Amino acid sequence: MAEAKPGRLGIGVVGAGKVGAVLGAALRAAGDAVVGVSAVSAASRERAENLLPGVPVLAVPEVVERAELVLLAVPDDALPELVAGLAGTGAWQPGQLVVHTGGRHGTGVLAPARARGAIPLAIHPAMTFTGMSLDLARHGDCAFGVTADPPVLPVAQALVVEMGAEPVVIEEQDRALYHAALAHASNHLVTIAAQASQLLAAAGVEQPERLLGPLMRASLENALASGESALTGPVARGDAGTVWVHREALLGFEVASGATDIRQAYEELARATAARALSRGLPKDAEGTAILDILSPPATPLNDQEDTQ
C-alpha cells in the first residue's frame, strides 16, 4: 500500500497550460522538486518561465522518465491518446504516480499506465485559472475533485492538501456529472455576463460592469447561501407582463443586431426558472402558467412577422 503522504517528490509537469504551470508552482512551493516541464507553444513556454523558473523544458518522454510523479495537465479529449501513446513506448514506470487534472475523467483513462505498474490518480481543481501567479493565492478557497483507488486515495488527498486546497472525493462513475455541474456553473456564468453586458451597452451604458458586478456577486452569494429561496425578479413575483416586455425588447434587439443567442438564452433560462419556481409554489400556478405560455411559442423575429402581413 502506498504511503498516506507522498512526501517530497520529483514532479514532472506535462502541459504548461494555465492549469499545469500553476499546479506545478503550487507543489514546488510546498517543497516538492519540479524536475521537468513540457511546453510547446510560446505562451506555455512563457508560463513555464514565469511560474517555474529554472525548471528545464523537455520533451514529454523526458519529463516522464525523470519524474516520480507525472502531472498530466492536458485537455480531457487529448488525455486518452497521450496516456496510451506513452504506454506504447514503455515510458511509464512501476510505482510511478500518474496524476491527471482533467474534470471529465476518473482513473479509468489511466489504465494503460496502470498496466505498466504506475499508480493512477485524478485531481481536478474546481477553479478557473488565468495561468498567472495570482492563481496561487486562490488555492486556499479552492476544492479539488479527487478520484483514486481506496488504497491510494490518501495520496491524492495529500497532494491536494499540500497545495493548500480541499479534496472532495468523486466516484469514478460520477465524474462526468460532476464536471458538467462545474462547467454549467462557471462557463455559462461567463456567457450570461457577456450577454448582459452587450444588452447594457446597447442601452447606452458605457461601463456595464459597474452595474453587473455588485448585482451578480450578491446574487451568487445569496444563491449559494440560501439556494433557490434567494430567487427574486419577475418570475418569482409572477409578473408575466414584465416577462412579455423583456421578450419583446429582446426580439427587437435581435432584429437590430442580428444576435440570436441572447433572446434564446433568456427564454430557456426563464422557462427553467419558472418551472423550478412553480415546483416550490412560487409564483402562483396561474401566474407561473402565464409566464410559461409567454415563453413557450417559438419566437418569430419582428421582420419575419412584417413579411407575412
Q: What pLDDT is attached to residue 298?
A: 58
Looking at the domain assignment, is residue 2 inside a domain?
no
Looking at the domain assignment, is residue 5 inside a domain?
no
Residue 94's pLDDT band, with cuts at 50, 70 and 90, is: very high
Q: What pLDDT is attached to residue 283?
A: 85
Measured CA to CA, the distance from residue 99 to residue 70 in angstroms comes to 6
pTM for this model (two decimals)? 0.88
Same domain, 250 and 209: yes
| pLDDT of 211 over the 70 cut | yes
Looking at the domain assignment, is residue 296 inside a domain?
yes
Looking at the domain assignment, is residue 234 inside a domain?
yes
Domain that holds residue 161: 10-170
Residue 7's pLDDT band, with cuts at 50, 70 and 90, is: low
Same domain, 78 and 137: yes
Residue 266's pLDDT band, with cuts at 50, 70 and 90, is: very high
Q: State mean pLDDT over 123-128.
A: 95
Q: State mean pLDDT over 92-100.
A: 98
**Of 170, 191, 224, which marks where a domain is finished?**
170
Looking at the domain assignment, is residue 69 inside a domain?
yes
| pLDDT of 72 over the 60 cut | yes
Same domain, 161 and 206: no
Tell me whether residue 11 is exposed, middle or buried, using C-beta atoms within 10 angstroms of its C-beta: 0 to 12, 13 to 18, 19 or more. buried
Q: How many domains would you assign to the chain? A: 2
